[in-house]
Amino acid sequence: MTQAALQTESSISPSRVEVKRVHHVMRNAWVDEQISKHLEATLAMSHGRIGIEQVFMLLATDQAQVWFAMDGEECISVVVSEVCEWVSGRRTLKVILAGGIGSLGRAIGPLMEKMEEFAMLEICSSVMVEGRKGWERALPDGYAFSHCTFEKEIM
């Protein structure tokens, strides 16, 4: 499988979902297929604000990170995040896109745990998720509803 050639960080959660963050995205058939397949519905709901080519550009220029939730050899969810630095100097890891084919709910806990760890390494004071109100049911404890933006202070 081509994912084995990707430089990643991973961990195994109790739910048996493994989370991998790709350091430097090298486009290949597997990466393109997983990102496209899992983010298709989310991108369609963006009303043209972002498309798949912009996602690949953000990843290729290290302006964003991509996270794969794996169940064995199967990718079940994909999340794209970016580190935002605010005018105040405060940094936030922001989830900009997420999708999974019927499985994001099962993967969200392990995904958020790994993203929180990464955010701390990047000196981010919080993790932010913007999206539909349905995120309220899926996010782990500590995330509060705020104008369809959920944020968790981590530092």
Q: What pLDDT digit, counting tens, does each position of 29-88 carry?
A: 999 999 999 999 889 888 888 999 999 999 999 999 999 999 888 999 999 999 999 999
Separation between Cα atoms, residue 55 and residue 97, nearest integer Å = 9
Query: Which letter does DSSP use for residue 95 in this model?
Result: E
In the block, residue with structure tokens 């999340």: 79
pTM of the prediction?
0.80
Q: Where are the domains of the chain?
A: 9-153
Average pLDDT over residues 2-30: 61
The CATH architecture to which 9-153 belongs is 3-Layer(aba) Sandwich (3.40)
Rounded Cα distance, 80 and 92, in Å: 14
What is the per-residue pLDDT for 24? Answer: 64
